[in-house]
Amino acid sequence: MEKKPAALVIGAGIAGIQAALDIANAGFPVYLVEKEPSIGGHMAQLDKTFPTLDCSACILTPRMVEVARNPNITLITLAEVTSVEGEAGNFKVRIRRRPRYVDETKCTACGDCAKECPVLVPNEFDMELGMRHATYIPFPQAVPNKYVIDKRGVAPCKDACPAHIDVQGYVTLIARGKIKEALALIYKSVPFPGVLGRVCPHPCEEACNRGQVDQPVSICLLKRFAADYVRERGLWEEVLEIIRKTHIPPRDGIPEKNSVGIVGAGPAGLSAAYFLALWGYKVTVYDALPVAGGMMAVGIPEYRLPRDVLNEEIERIKSLGVEIKLNTRVGPDGIPLEELRQKHDAVLLALGAHKGLKLNIPGEELEGVFPGVEFIRKANLGQPVKVGEKVVVIGGGNVAIDASRIARRLGAKKVTILYRRSRAEMPASPWEVADAEEEGVEIQFLVAPTRILGENGRVTGVECIRMQLGEPDASGRRRPIPIEGSEFVVEADTVIPAIGQAVEAEGLGIEVTRGGTLNFNPLTMETGIPGVFAAGDAATGPATVVEAIAQGKKAAMAIDLYLRGEKVEVPEPSWHVVSLEEVKSQFRSFPLDRRASPKPRHEVEKLPPEERISGFSEVELGFEEEKAIAEAERCLNCAVCCLCMECVRACQAKAINHSMPEQTFELEVGAIIVATGYDQFDARRKPELGYGRYPNVLSGLEFERLVSASGPTKGKVKINGKVPKEVVFIKCVGSRDKTVGHPYCSRVCCMYTAKQAHLIREKVPDAKVTVFYMDVRAFGKGFEEFYDRVREEGVVYRRGMVSEIYKRGDKLVVRAEDTLLGRPVEVEADLVVLATGLEPRSDSGKLAEILGIEKSEEGFFAEAQRELYPVESSRPGIFLAGCAQGPKDIPDAVAHAKAAAAAALVLLTKQTEGRR
């Protein structure tokens, strides 16, 4: 049998559903394309229909199910038409389909995913009167009855994090009290949450959109909270199970050659080891130092990072099967790299940068001069370091700050930092600088050392010169220029230069860059020697812990690809970062109101400075649980879905796929029906009516959701928990109004207002109900009778358009002229319902262009001729159905749709016959 020509129906509200069913039932294939996750359109949102007062869902749902069951209908949700070529009988239509992130063939609509989803955002189907999860089904009767995940891109926190931790995810999990899950999610990207929660310079907080509203979410401390919580309660095994099961499961097909040797047990090396071990590789880590942790152990002072925190996190990595060989140097004076290369199938060089840079000024050889990194290393290893009473530290980075604060703790009376630029140019984190100053460290800006002075081989002071700032240099900071003749001497018995670190890169047989780092390809992490990779400070030069961790993970990914024999490439991801402007426009209500706690950032306590310098106790204290949860609730959920993977864990059908791609494809159809419906008028455009200002001024559709049994209040008419006793309806809002560009009558408001007034009388029998109207247009079968009925029920109709609404006490005041009395009146109300009119879809202009059809003056799609061709568009073969052509009530929309279906069928039938 020959294939029959198909029809395309765009939009699956009641008109689109009707047209699709009629064509399908006539035996022709239909593609029904819907932008939203479910079909049903606005009719699905209505409580009761007019004039029969049937339950809208009850009469619509069977039709929706018919669509789902009809073998001739292919339903394509979350999809839009992007182009139409060809002509009547032979159109080629391109469709773009957004991913649902839930496999429709597997989802059973059990709802387990939504139950676990920690994200709450306003629910569009309930006109944002209620909330929904990021993983959701728009309404219980949705067709297809499949869940969908709402993703808006990548939150700026995740984007800014070098390791791309799912920040929004773990913050939101903390907000819901799911602390173990939060820590497991952090572990998806980094194996050192307790370390990072203390020492990370947190670029995520700088990027946080909340920072533009008030202050950023305290992300770093929340990470520390999750880590401390699990550590203190001994919950690691449970966390590990989540990591293994969901976040970093063992990989299939690990090759037989799977032994990896890693040089350097710092953040880069151990991170690589962590991922490789979890995937299923055998990993041995070598380190020259007597302790594991690299710079985390020997470069960061204990008062910022207690050793038990670090050691426990290292132990966890070891427990995955990673062997760490300490006191084992690789390279000159140790195991030759070649030997390691023989022993392992791949080698990662993550040596770090442990050599202090020299000042290159006279006197550096004097007794009492310690390079910063060596000074801190010795102090951290518990080796004897003697500081005098007057210590001078040279430099402006975090190492200089650390050295100065250690010196204070080791008993130095006076510690002075000399920095050659001004405070604004200091690379050290401002909070670290503040802590140091609190502890009595003095900083002299715009001062550079020219000579270290000594007597009898011992340091006695530093000769300095004052500087001034010139033009910006390559780093973008203003270049310091010495002021001639400004030399002076600072007395000192100890001098600690902390002006930078270098890699001990020589002698490994790897090419070394001009900057002294190992030469590597950042896209593949490979060095010049096959199978030898590089990562961390040794490859990039000195950087932060989180950058080293990110490097380690990239190296692990590269090594995995290499050992599998695949193309080695680990590019930085490119993605859409959600801006605050987008966050504000994602939903109608401003995010602070409904999406996040309005509280300012929570602070943590610190040890008092006197107590701090008496030892090496941790300075900053973490969040308590209650405070952490309150702080996490400040997250705006910028990307909506926070990628926490709780849905993945919950879904037994394994239907969820967070990396489902967008699809584009082409359809061949003979006829097209446009049934895209309408938008509700945005009453904020009539500011005097107070919509958007007063929560008890509702639009027509909002009222439908308020009275609906499946709505956010389960059908109870309550505003702020109270039953309204005085209710005012206002007609013609956004209709018959030139000032908003809608000169037309929206046709449905008179009767839906009558229906809604009736529903109020029914649900709140003692309520006083007033309708302000201009005309009552009751033109259909049973309409006038219904109008009579509601007046009979006691609804008062007053002729006059409302001019303004404002609040007096706890009542709304509705001001209008009762034109029949001929005098202005003020009516008090607890609830005002605006009969908001219908307007063309906001994207109807774009669609008209894509389809090549014309619009009429009001912006709805134009019919070919108003009296005799009411369903034909200006382009042959494209037909109009329902409110896309102009405002209609349900009976009219259905009739119009049936007419459009008939017109399309004429075309399709002719085509079929033509083929014969």
Residue placing its CB nearer to another protein in the complex, 212 or 819: 819
Residue placing its CB nearer to another protein in the complex, 608 or 822: 822
Q: Which two tokens stand for residue 655?
A: 């239907």
Task: Please report, for residues 79, 83, 89, 566, the alpha-carbon distance to residue 86 in angstroms, rounded to integers and kept in the order given.
Answer: 21, 10, 8, 44
Tokens 């199910």 sit at which residue?
A: 65
Site string for another protein, 715-734 (x = CB under 8 A): -----------------x--
Q: How many residues of this chain interact with another protein, rule: CB under 8 A? A: 28
For the stretch 567-571, contacts whose Cβ atoms lie closer than 8 Å and that sit 24 or more positions apart, written own/partner, are 568/524, 568/525, 568/526, 569/523, 569/524, 570/523, 570/524, 570/525, 571/523
Q: Which of 341, 478, 601, 815 binds another protein (CB under 8 A)?
A: 815
What is the distance of C-alpha 883 from the center of its chain? 35
Residue 819 CB, nearest distance to another protein (Å)? 4
Q: Which of 249, 507, 741, 824 binds another protein (CB under 8 A)?
A: 824
Site for another protein in 688-717 (CB under 8 A): 688
Residue placing its CB nearer to another protein in the complex, 44 or 689: 689
* CB 724, CB 830: distance < 8 Å: yes
Q: Which of 513, 819, 842, 865 binds another protein (CB under 8 A)?
A: 819
Burial of residue 740, with CB atoms counted within 10 A of its CB: 0-12 exposed, 13-18 middle, 19 or more buried: middle
Residue placing its CB nearer to another protein in the complex, 104 or 818: 818
Piece of the chain touching another protein by CB under 8 A; list 270-278, 419-427, 824-832, 876-884: 824-832
Residue 689 CB, nearest distance to another protein (Å)? 10
Residue placing its CB nearer to another protein in the complex, 441 or 749: 749
Residue 817 CB, nearest distance to another protein (Å)? 3
Residue 738 CB, nearest distance to another protein (Å)? 5
Site string for another protein, 17-56 (x = CB under 8 A): ----------------------------------------
Residue placing its CB nearer to another protein in the complex, 225 or 681: 681
Residue placing its CB nearer to another protein in the complex, 159 or 839: 839
Tokens 């009001």 sit at which residue?
A: 858
DSSP letters of 120-151?
A: EEE-TTTTTSSEEESEE-SSTT-SS---EE-B
Spell out the residues 6+ positions from residue 781 whose beta carbon is closer than 8 angstroms to its own. 51
Residue placing its CB nearer to another protein in the complex, 577 or 825: 825
* CB 538, CB 506: distance < 8 Å: no
Q: Considering the rule CB under 8 A, would residue 513 count as an interface residue with another protein?
A: no
Residue placing its CB nearer to another protein in the complex, 316 or 798: 798
Residue 812 CB, nearest distance to another protein (Å)? 11
Return the SS3 of 789. helix
Bond before 156 cis per omega within 30 degrees:
no
Site string for another protein, 658-687 (x = CB under 8 A): -----------------------------x
Q: Which two tokens stand for residue 869?
A: 């061709």
Return the SS3 of 786. helix
Residue 214 CB, nearest distance to another protein (Å)? 16
Task: Please report, for residues 33, 141, 175, 353, the alpha-carbon distance to residue 120 in angstroms, rounded to integers and kept in the order given.
Answer: 28, 21, 11, 45
Site for another protein in 825-854 (CB under 8 A): 825-826
H-helix segments, 410-490: 430-438
> Taking Cα atoms as reference points, which of 863, 858, 859 lies closest to residue 847?
859
Burial of residue 533, with CB atoms counted within 10 A of its CB: 0-12 exposed, 13-18 middle, 19 or more buried: buried
The helix or strand, by DSSP H or E, that contains position 463, with its residue range, turns out to be strand 458-472
Residue 744 CB, nearest distance to another protein (Å)? 12
Residue placing its CB nearer to another protein in the complex, 214 or 843: 214
Residue 742 CB, nearest distance to another protein (Å)? 9
Total residue count of the chain as it appears in this document: 916
Residue placing its CB nearer to another protein in the complex, 27 or 600: 600
Residue 829 CB, nearest distance to another protein (Å)? 15
Residue 593 CB, nearest distance to another protein (Å)? 18
Residue 844 CB, nearest distance to another protein (Å)? 23
Residue placing its CB nearer to another protein in the complex, 274 or 772: 772
Residue 686 CB, nearest distance to another protein (Å)? 8
Q: Please give the Cα distance from 577 to 581 (Å, whole number).
A: 11
Residue 806 CB, nearest distance to another protein (Å)? 5
Vertex 591, ends 590 and 595: CA angle to 5°?
Answer: 135
Greatest extent of the chain over all pairs of C-alpha atoms, in Å: 113
Piece of the chain touching another protein by CB under 8 A; list 162-170, 462-470, 523-531, 823-831: 823-831
Pairing outcome for strands 447-455 and 458-472: antiparallel
Site string for another protein, 736-755 (x = CB under 8 A): xxxx----------------
Q: Please give the Cα distance from 694 to 730 (Å, whole number).
A: 15
* CB 738, CB 682: distance < 8 Å: no
Q: Please give the Cα distance from 615 to 202 (Å, whole number).
A: 26
Residue placing its CB nearer to another protein in the complex, 222 or 730: 730
Residue 897 CB, nearest distance to another protein (Å)? 31
Vertex 26, ends 23 and 30: CA angle to 5°?
Answer: 35
Site for another protein in 317-376 (CB under 8 A): none
Return the SS3 of 404. helix
Q: Please give the Cα distance from 909 to 911 (Å, whole number).
A: 5
Residue 688 CB, nearest distance to another protein (Å)? 5
DSSP letters of 698-756?
A: EEHHHHHHHH-TTSTTTT---BTTB--SEEEEEEEESSSBGGGTB-S--SSHHHHHHHH
Residue 212 CB, nearest distance to another protein (Å)? 18
Residue placing its CB nearer to another protein in the complex, 719 or 801: 801
Phi and psi of 58, rounded to 5°? -65, -35
Return the SS3 of 416. strand
Residue placing its CB nearer to another protein in the complex, 434 or 821: 821
Residue placing its CB nearer to another protein in the complex, 251 or 684: 684
Residue 474 CB, nearest distance to another protein (Å)? 30
Q: Which of 492, 816, 838, 903 binds another protein (CB under 8 A)?
A: 816
Site for another protein in 771-810 (CB under 8 A): 774-775, 799-804, 806-808
Q: Please give the Cα distance from 158 to 186 (Å, whole number).
A: 11
Residue 586 CB, nearest distance to another protein (Å)? 24
Residue placing its CB nearer to another protein in the complex, 688 or 849: 688
> How many CB atoms lie under 10 A from the CB of residue 154?
20
Q: Which of 514, 822, 867, 913 binds another protein (CB under 8 A)?
A: 822
Q: Which of 312, 817, 828, 892 binds another protein (CB under 8 A)?
A: 817
Residue placing its CB nearer to another protein in the complex, 437 or 817: 817
Binding interface with another protein (CB under 8 A): 687-688, 732, 736-739, 774-775, 799-804, 806-808, 815-819, 822-826
